[in-house]
Structure 1
């Protein structure tokens, strides 16, 4: 299973909110479509414009509603599809014009974040991280 690092507040909007479109400048590799991926909240601080966008779309103040988790895996999701922005309100309200829209389904927030160092692009979590995630999902270690 691969992991994808996403800056806050977007990672929180995926894990705890209704954000099901991740915007990227590059297409998702076809080999990852239909697979489960870990959603990792980046260690970097909140992007102020992102926080305002979340409030605009959801009416929710992310800092008050969602844990301020950084530097940890916070959810698991299925990367269901990827397409380039098609305009005409494609993937509203989260899809951004001029980006690839990565469609996420079956999102499940973890009860407890799993500390991990992220990376750019898809990355492979350590066995310890995978075990900690698996225990929370099924009660069984790998």
Structure 2
């Protein structure tokens, strides 16, 4: 299973609100379409966003598990409601499960492979499907 690092407050919005699109400058690799991934809250804050709600103050930890259901390019950002950015790839997310307890982990750029102890800690909280 792979993980994706997302800056706060966006990781918290995925985990605890209705944010079901992740904006990226790069297209989702085809082999990740339909994959279950870990959502990791990065160590940096997106300074253009406001922080509020649970898990928005969590940094450097896995906060949720989600399925990537699609990817499309958007010029105007209007297709995905208030969460979609202009001139970005929108990765759509579904089956989001927030972790009751964030699991500390060091993130990375792009998709990355979490250590076995991180996967085990997540597994103790939610059922993970075996995916590449």
Normalised to the residue count of structure 1, the TM-score between the two structures is 0.85
Distance 1:88 1:100, change over 3 A: closer
- Contact 2:77 / 2:86 at 8 angstroms: preserved in 1? no
Aligned position for 1:27: 27
Which of 34, 54, 60 is residue 66 of structure 1 equivalent to?
Answer: 54
Q: CA RMSD in A?
A: 1.3
- Deviations along 1:15-55, one digit per CA (max 9) or x if unpaired, are 011100100000010100101000000012x223122xxxx
Cα distance in 1 for residues equivalent to 2:6 and 2:122: 17
The structure with the largest strand share of the pair is 2
Aligned position for 1:54: none
Aligned position for 2:38: 38
SS in 2 for 1:132: helix
Matched, 1:79 2:68: yes
Cα distance in 2 for residues equivalent to 1:2 and 1:47: 22
Normalised to the residue count of structure 2, the TM-score between the two structures is 0.91
User: After the TM superposition, which of the residue ranges 84-93 and 123-132 deviates more from structure 2?
Assistant: 84-93
What are the equivalent positions in structure 2 for 1:47-126 lying under 5 Å apart? 47-51=46-50, 62=52, 65-67=53-55, 68-85=57-74, 87=76, 89-126=78-115
Aligned position for 1:17: 17
Aligned position for 2:123: 134
Cα distance in 2 for residues equivalent to 1:6 and 1:33: 18
- Larger Cα Rg: Structure 1 or Structure 2? 1
The structure with the largest helix share of the pair is 1
Unaligned runs of 5+ residues in structure 1 are 52-60
